[in-house]
Amino acid sequence: MSLLAPLVAGFDIGGTNVRGVLVDRAGHLVGADRLPRPHEPDGIVDSVVTLVARMGTDAGADAHAVGVGCAGTVDRRGVVRASPNIPTLIEFPLADTLSKRLAMPVIVDNDATTATWAEVKTGAARGIRDVVFVALGTGIGVGIVLDGELRRGAQGFAGEAGHMVISPEGPECVCGRRGCWEVFASGRALGRLTQDAAREHRVPAIVEIAGGVIDDIRGEHVSELVAEGHPEALMMLDELGWWVGLGLTNLVNVLDVSTAVIGGGLSEIGRPLIAAIRVGYNSLMHDSDHRPPLNIVGALHGGRAGAIGAALLAADELHQPSRI
């Protein structure tokens, strides 16, 4: 493979790791590396600088720009304004600090936003102009592409659809309100929904696998059983798919996208999850007679989407605006 220079580096700063990728101008993956995420901002900066150097040495060519996807709300100056997973980064001038240390352009954006760009540019929604990306992880992150352009909103905070309230009397969310979408439809929610089912004696096998303690049931207990086609796990997946589908109907009513890409850790379940979401969505969308069906697909880039998309956004900054 001949590389299309210049190379760009992309990073995903998450709760556990700093993941890096090196890609060429066409989005080909040239290298990948990672380090455990330090607690303090200075350590996070050091990790990114180290990984840029290490990936450049391994590839025999250096990056000319860096993009960073970060868990949390990130404003248009590249400053993290809120982040339950990485509170030490709040108000830290990450883009400016990295740019000075590396002496190259650096952009910082929300991790779901960067992952969205990866899926639209080189992934499951390549070339599609109206897309929502929905990352089902601990919470829910959403990215929006309309008319071929990433939509960030006035502050850069667009896409916080995980905190769209769908049941005002529902369980409390990490944001302090009740009944947010991510309380019902995230990876953590799969565990909570299954605990509720266990209290109603609907999932005895899952309770047994969790060691007989209902409060210990996690989404992973369900996702592992889905691979075996276990009926209790498939039932819980159907329930989750209904809640994911409910949120998608709201997003489609507001945004009129043609495609929803499902990513995040939970998407590793694969086809059974996508099938359950399709069933849920189709049962809830009210005007399907006159509206073409929503294209619901699994993400292509998996856990690397955030870093790859960050690199592609940095490449766009060098060459052209962020549009397809």
Is the Cβ of residue 173 or residue 296 nearer to Zn ion in the bound state? Answer: 173
DSSP secondary structure of 8-61: EEEEEE-SSEEEEEEE-TT--EEEEEEEEPPSSHHHHHHHHHHHHHHHHHHHTS
Applying CB under 5 A, the span of 14-22, 61-69, 174-182, 310-318 interacting with Zn ion comes to 174-182
Applying CB under 5 A, the span of 29-37, 46-54, 171-179, 274-282 interacting with Zn ion comes to 171-179
DSSP secondary structure of 204-257: HHHHHHTTT-GGG--HHHHHHHHTTT-HHHHHHHHHHHHHHHHHHHHHHHHH--
The angle at the Cα of 196, spanning 280 to 163, to the nearest 5 degrees, equals 60
Least CB distance to Zn ion at residue 104 (A) = 36
| Residues contacting Zn ion: total by CB under 5 A | 4
Least CB distance to Zn ion at residue 182 (A) = 6
d(CA 156, CA 161): 13
Is the Cβ of residue 173 or residue 307 nearer to Zn ion in the bound state? Answer: 173
Which residues sit opposite 258 in a β-bridge? none
Least CB distance to Zn ion at residue 291 (A) = 28
Least CB distance to Zn ion at residue 181 (A) = 8
CA–CA distance from 238 to each of 143, 191, 259, 279 (Å)? 24, 14, 20, 8
Residue 303, token pair as written in the block: 């856990």
Least CB distance to Zn ion at residue 199 (A) = 23
Our finding on whether 173 is near Zn ion (CB under 5 A) is yes
Is the Cβ of residue 240 or residue 315 nearer to Zn ion in the bound state? Answer: 240
Is the Cβ of residue 104 or residue 173 nearer to Zn ion in the bound state? Answer: 173
Applying CB under 5 A, the span of 18-26, 40-48, 107-115, 169-177 interacting with Zn ion comes to 169-177
d(CA 124, CA 260): 10
Least CB distance to Zn ion at residue 179 (A) = 8
Contacts of 42 (CB under 8 A, 6+ apart): none
Among positions 234-273, residues that touch Zn ion (CB under 5 A) are none
Is the Cβ of residue 165 or residue 279 nearer to Zn ion in the bound state? Answer: 165
Least CB distance to Zn ion at residue 172 (A) = 9
Please tell me whether residue 94 adopts helix, strand or coil conformation.
helix
Contacts of 269 (CB under 8 A, 6+ apart): 223, 226, 237
Among positions 12-41, residues that touch Zn ion (CB under 5 A) are none
Among positions 107-166, residues that touch Zn ion (CB under 5 A) are 163
Q: Which residues bind Zn ion (CB under 5 A)?
A: 163, 173, 175, 180
